[in-house]
C-alpha cells in the first residue's frame, strides 16, 4: 500500500520529474510521476499540491495539467523567490516532494447550460487550464466558452501551443491582451478587464471563473458586475501565504476563511466583504 | 461522586507513575506556576497564592490550608500537545534521489493533574482544530490519544480570569477523566471527585475513596459558586463578535497599534492559538533534509508574506487579526469563541493591554441589535 496525503498529511511523497518545459523566461512546467510504484492522485480543476524542494522548502502550486491524464501530474511555476528559484534549477530525472491534491475546485458543474467565461492574468492561467481541458471535453454542456487572457508582454505568454489550438477552434472565443507591447504585436494592448465590455457572452447566463493578481480580479469583477453578471455567478481564487495547505498552520486566513481548505476557489460574494478592507 | 481524603492524592500519583504514566502537573519554577513532570505529589505546587493583573504576575506562599489556592501561570497545557518545535518530515538522499524516512510519531503516556476548567475547554478547542478538520495532525493525535486529564475545579480565580462569562469555568463540566473539587469533608481536607470517563472510573476503583454524601456535594457546589462570584472581568462573546465585525476599520486599532509592542506574548501564552511555521534544513553533508514545525504568531510581519511583501504590514492590522480571529472569525470557523477566558494574554502583556476593556470599545460603537434596542 502506498501512503497518501490523508495518512501522513504533513509528509511529502517523492515524485520524479519526467519532463521540464520552459514556457517563457521565468515560467516552467514540470510533468511529475510517483518515484515508487503507485499512480498519481486524481484531482479536480482548481486544486493545488504542496511542492517540496529537497532541503529548501515547500510551496503551494496549482495543478495545471489535464485531469484525464492519469500517469503524470503537471505544474506550471513562475520563479519569484527562494523555493521557486531552487525549483527552476531542477532537471528531468531529479526528484521533488508532492503533497496533495489539496483545496477545493472550480464548480464547473454549476455552469452547465450556461456560457463559460474564463479570465486569467499571467500565471493565473495555470489553475484554469485543467478547467478548459475539461470544458472542451464536455463541450455540449456549455453555451459559449470565452477565454480572456492578459499577460505583461508578448514575451511573457505561456501555453503558446494550447492558446494557438484554442484560438483556431470555432466553438471557443479566445482574446489575448498584453500590458506592454513591441511593434510586432498585433493584438489588444491593455489590462484584461478592459476586454469584458465587448466580450461575447450573455451576462445573465454566464458563470465566470477568474484567476490572477488580486487587483486584476477586483477590476475584472467590477467590469462583470457592470455588465450585469451576478456576484453569485463569479468565482475567484485567492492567494495567501501557506505553510501547511491543510488548515492547521493558520497562515492563509483571510477573515473567516482558510484559503487552503475552504478555497482556493471562492464565490465572489463570499470574499467581497474582505477584499475591500486593506491589510486583511 | 466520591470523596478522597487529601493526603491520599499521593496514592493517585503513585498509581499513575506505577502504570508507566509520566505525571505532569503544576509546579513552581522561577516564581511562576508552570506545568512540569512530577516525581510525586510532593513536587506539585501547593498552598501558593498568585496576584495577577494587566502586565502583572506575582506568586507568594498562601496562608490558608488550601492546596489549589492559585490558577496556572503563563504556561498552558498547549506545549504538551502542540510542542513549540517538532519534526514534520525527514528525507534522506539528494535532489537527484531521496526517500521519505520520517519516523512514526510517538508520544509517552501522560497523565495531567491539576488541569483547570479553562484548560480543558482549550484542549477541546484544539481537538476541533487538530483532529476534527479535513486533516488530522499526527503529532497532536499521538500526544492526545491516551492522555489522562485529571482536572481541578478552581476555588481561587485570579483577577484576570473571566471564564465564567465565556462559559468555560470555573467548574469543568466535560472533557476530563476525573475532576476534583477541594473541600472539607467530615472536618478533614478532601477532594470531591467526579468521574468523566471509564478510564477515570477504573482509577477510582484502585483508590481509597468513599461515596460522597449530600453534604459533600453541597460543599463542592459552594466552592464553584464562590469562585464564580469572585470573577470580576467579563466578555459577552456574542456582543464582542458583533462589535468586531462592525469595527474592522475602527480608529481604535491605531490606538492599540501605538500601545502594542508586537512581542507576540499574547498568542504564545494563549492556550487556543495554534499557528505554526515551517523551517527546512539539511545536514552538513547534505544527505539528510528535515522540515520542522515551529510556533508562529500573527503578530510577526512575515506571517502573511507573499511574493512582493506582507499583507498585514501595519501593527494595527496585525492586532486586528489577533482580536478579530479570537473573538469574531473563530465562531464561523470552529463554532465558538476562540477565547476560553484564562486571562493569560492580560497578565503577560508587557504593555498591560486588557482585552476585556479593548473589546468594550468596539462593542460600544457597534449598532445594537433589535432586541437590545427594545431593552
Ligand atoms: C493556492 C495557491 C496556488 C498557487 N499556484 C501557483 C502556480 O500554479 N504557479 C505559480 O507560479 N505560483 C503559484 N502560487 C504562488 C506560489 O506559491 C508562490 O510564488 C511561492 O510560494 C513563492 O515562493 P518562493 O519561496 O519562491 O518565494 P519567496 O518570495 O522567497 O517567499 C518566501 C516564502 O513565502 C511564502 N510565499 C511567498 N509568496 C507566496 C505566494 N504567492 N503564495 C503563497 N505563499 C507564498 C512561501 O512560503 C515562500 O516559501 C500559488 C499560491 C497559492 C496560495
Ligand atoms: S485570548 Fe487571552 S484570555 Fe482568551 S484564551 Fe487566549 S490567552 Fe486566555
Ligand atoms: S490569533 Fe493569531 S496566532 Fe492566534 S490562532 Fe489566530 S491567527 Fe493564529
Ligand atoms: S495553509 Fe496552513 S492553514 Fe491554510
Q: Kindly provide the ipTM of the predicted complex, given to two decimals.
A: 0.93
Q: Mark yes or no for CB contact A249/B321 under 8 Å.
A: no
- Write the pLDDT tens digit of every residue in A178-195: 988 877 777 888 899 999
3-state secondary structure of B137: coil
Do residues A128 and A196 share a domain? yes
Residue-wise pLDDT for B13-48, tens only, equals: 999 999 999 999 999 999 999 999 999 999 999 999
Across A223-242, average pLDDT? 96
Q: What are phi and psi of B140, to 5 degrees?
A: -65, -45
Chain A, nearest residue to B128 by Cα: A248
**pLDDT(B145) > 90:** yes
List of chain B residues whose C-beta atoms are within 8 Å of the C-beta of residue A52: 291
A128 part of a folded domain: yes
Residues A228 and A123 placed together within one structural domain of the fold: yes
Of residues A145, A114, A128, the one with CA closest to residue A44: A128
pLDDT digits (tens, 9 = 90+) for B107-135: 999 999 999 999 999 999 999 999 999 99
B296–A97 CB contact, under 8 Å: no
Q: How far is the CA of A126 from the centre of ligand 1 (A)?
A: 13
Peptide bond before B258: cis, by omega within 30 degrees of 0? no
- What pLDDT shows up at residue B331? 97
- Range of A85's domain? 13-102
Which of A102, A122, A157 lies at the terminal end of a domain, its last residue? Answer: A102
Res B167: pLDDT: 96
Q: How many other CB atoms are found less than 10 A from the CB of residue B147? A: 21
Whether A242 is in a domain gets the answer no
pLDDT at B374 over 60: no
Which residues have C-beta atoms less than 6 Å from ligand 1?
Answer: A 48, 57, 59-62, 76-78, 80-85, 123, 126-127, 239-242, 264; B 305-307
Residues A140, A113 within the same domain: yes
Residues with CB under 6 A from ligand 2: B 269-272, 326, 339-345
- A with B: how many residue pairs have Cβ under 8 Å apart? 131
Query: What's the structural domain count of chain A?
Result: 2
Which of A41, A68, A102 terminates a domain? The answer is: A102
Reply yes or no on whether the pLDDT at A80 is more than 90.
Answer: yes
Q: Are both A139 and A220 inside the same structural domain?
A: yes
pLDDT of residue A5: 72
Q: Is residue A20 part of a domain?
A: yes
Give start and end residues of each alpha helix (H) in A82-231.
82-88, 129-137, 160-167, 214-227
Dihedral sign, CA of A33, A35, A40, A46?
A: negative
- Do A39 and A114 lie in one domain? The reply is no
Ligand 4 pocket mutation, candidates A251, A254, A257, criterion most atoms within 8 A of CB:
A251
In this structure, is residue A188 part of a structural domain? Answer: yes
Instruction: With beta carbons less than 8 A apart as the criterion, state whether B11 and B19 touch.
Output: no
User: Nearest CB to A277: which of B96, B248, B286?
Assistant: B248
The contacts of residue A30 (CB under 8 Å, 6+ apart) are A17, A19, A20, A74, A75, A77, A87, A90, A96
Q: What is the C-alpha to C-alpha distance for residues A10 and B248, in angstroms, rounded to an integer?
A: 34
**Domain finish residue from A69, A84, A102:** A102
* Integer angstrom CA distances of residue B58 from B29, B53, B69, B71: 12, 9, 14, 12
pLDDT score recorded for residue B373: 45
Higher pLDDT, B354 or B375: B354
pLDDT digits (tens, 9 = 90+) for A112-121: 999 999 999 9
Contact B329 A253 (CB under 8 A): yes
Residue A211 and residue A116 share a domain: yes
Ligand 3 site residues (CB inside 6 A) read A 250, 253; B 267, 273-275, 297-298, 321-322, 325-326
Ligand closest to Cα of B355 equals 2
Amino acid at each position: 500500500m502506498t501512503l497518501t496525503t490523508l495518512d501522513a498529511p504533513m509528509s511529502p511523497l517523492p515524485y520524479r520529474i519526467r519532463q521540464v518545459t520552459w514556457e517563457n523566461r521565468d515560467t516552467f512546467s514540470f510533468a511529475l510521476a510517483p518515484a515508487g510504484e503507485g499512480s498519481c492522485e486524481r484531482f479536480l480543476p482548481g486544486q493545488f499540491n504542496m511542492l517540496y524542494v529537497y532541503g529548501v522548502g515547500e510551496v503551494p502550486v496549482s495543478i495545471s495539467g489535464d485531469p484525464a491524464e492519469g500517469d503524470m501530474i503537471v505544474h506550471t511555476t513562475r520563479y519569484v523567490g527562494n523555493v521557486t528559484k531552487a525549483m527552476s534549477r531542477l532537471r528531468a530525472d531529479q526528484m521533488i516532494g508532492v503533497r496533495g491534491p489539496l483545496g477545493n475546485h472550480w464548480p464547473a458543474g454549476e455552469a452547465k447550460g450556461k456560457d463559460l467565461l474564463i479570465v486569467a492574468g499571467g500565471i493565473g492561467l495555470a489553475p484554469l487550464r485543467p478547467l478548459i481541458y475539461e470544458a472542451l471535453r464536455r463541450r455540449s454542456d456549455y453555451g459559449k466558452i470565452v477565454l480572456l487572457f492578459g499577460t505583461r508582454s508578448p514575451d511573457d505568454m505561456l501555453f503558446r501551443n494550447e492558446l494557438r489550438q484554442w484560438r483556431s477552434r470555432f466553438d471557443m472565443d479566445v482574446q489575448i491582451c498584453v500590458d506592454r507591447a513591441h511593434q510586432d504585436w498585433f493584438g489588444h494592448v491593455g489590462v484584461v478587464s478592459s476586454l469584458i465590455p465587448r466580450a461575447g457572452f450573455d451576462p445573465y447566463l454566464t458563470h465566470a471563473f477568474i484567476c490572477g493578481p488580486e487587483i486584476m480580479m477586483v477590476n475584472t469583477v467590477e467590469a462583470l458586475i457592470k455588465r450585469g453578471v451576478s456576484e453569485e455567478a463569479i468565482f475567484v481564487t485567492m492567494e495567501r501565504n501557506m505553510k501547511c495547505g491543510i488548515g492547521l498552520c493558520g497562515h492563509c486566513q483571510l477573515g473567516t476563511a482558510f484559503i487552503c481548505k475552504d478555497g482556493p476557489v471562492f464565490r465572489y460574494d463570499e470574499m467581497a466583504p474582505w477584499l475591500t478592507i486593506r491589510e486583511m | 461522586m466520591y470523596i478522597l481524603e487529601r493526603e491520599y492524592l499521593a496514592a493517585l500519583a503513585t498509581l499513575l507513575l506505577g502504570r508507566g504514566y509520566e505525571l505532569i502537573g503544576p509546579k513552581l519554577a522561577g516564581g511562576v506556576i508552570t506545568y512540569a513532570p512530577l516525581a510525586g505529589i510532593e513536587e506539585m505546587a501547593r498552598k501558593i497564592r498568585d496576584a495577577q493583573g494587566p502586565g502583572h504576575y506575582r506568586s507568594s506562599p498562601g496562608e490558608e490550608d488550601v492546596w489549589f489556592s492559585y490558577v496556572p501561570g503563563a504556561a498552558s497545557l498547549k506545549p504538551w500537545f502542540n510542542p513549540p518545535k517538532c519534526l514534520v518530515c525527514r528525507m534522506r538522499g539528494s535532489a537527484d534521489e531521496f526517500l521519505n524516512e520520517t519516523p512514526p510519531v510517538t508520544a509517552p503516556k501522560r497523565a495531567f493533574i491539576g488541569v483547570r476548567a479553562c484548560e480543558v475547554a482549550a484542549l477541546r478547542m484544539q481537538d476541533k482544530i487538530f483532529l476534527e478538520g479535513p486533516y488530522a495532525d499526527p503529532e497532536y493525535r499521538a500526544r492526545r490519544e491516551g492522555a489522562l486529564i485529571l482536572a481541578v475545579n478552581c476555588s481561587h480565580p485570579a483577577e484576570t480570569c473571566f471564564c465564567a462569562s465565556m462559559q468555560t469555568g470555573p467548574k469543568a463540566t466535560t472533557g476530563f477523566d476525573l475532576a476534583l473539587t477541594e473541600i472539607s469533608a467530615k472536618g478533614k481536607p478532601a477532594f470531591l471527585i467526579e468521574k468523566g470517563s471509564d478510564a477515570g472510573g477504573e482509577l477510582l476503583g484502585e483508590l481509597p475513596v468513599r461515596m460522597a454524601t449530600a453534604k459533600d456535594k453541597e460543599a463542592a457546589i459552594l466552592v464553584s459558586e464562590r469562585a464564580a462570584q469572585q470573577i470580576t472581568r467579563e466578555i459577552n462573546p456574542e456582543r464582542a463578535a458583533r462589535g468586531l465585525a462592525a469595527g474592522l476599520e475602527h480608529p481604535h486599532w491605531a490606538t492599540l497599534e501605538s500601545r502594542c509592542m508586537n512581542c507576540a506574548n499574547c498568542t504564545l501564552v494563549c492556550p487556543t492559538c495554534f499557528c505554526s511555521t515551517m523551517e527546512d534544513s539539511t545536514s552538513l553533508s547534505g544527505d539528510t533534509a528535515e522540515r520542522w514545525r515551529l510556533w508562529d504568531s500573527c503578530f510577526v510581519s512575515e506571517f502573511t508574506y507573499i511574493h512582493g511583501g506582507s499583507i498585514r504590514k501595519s501593527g494595527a492590522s496585525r492586532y486586528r487579526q489577533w482580536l478579530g480571529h479570537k473573538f469574531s472569525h473563530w465562531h464561523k470557523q470552529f463554532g465558538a469563541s476562540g477565547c476560553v477566558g484564562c486571562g493569560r494574554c492580560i497578565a503577560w502583556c508587557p504593555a498591560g493591554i486588557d482585552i476585556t476593556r479593548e473589546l468594550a470599545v468596539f462593542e460600544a460603537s457597534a449598532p445594537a441589535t433589535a432586541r437590545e434596542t427594545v431593552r
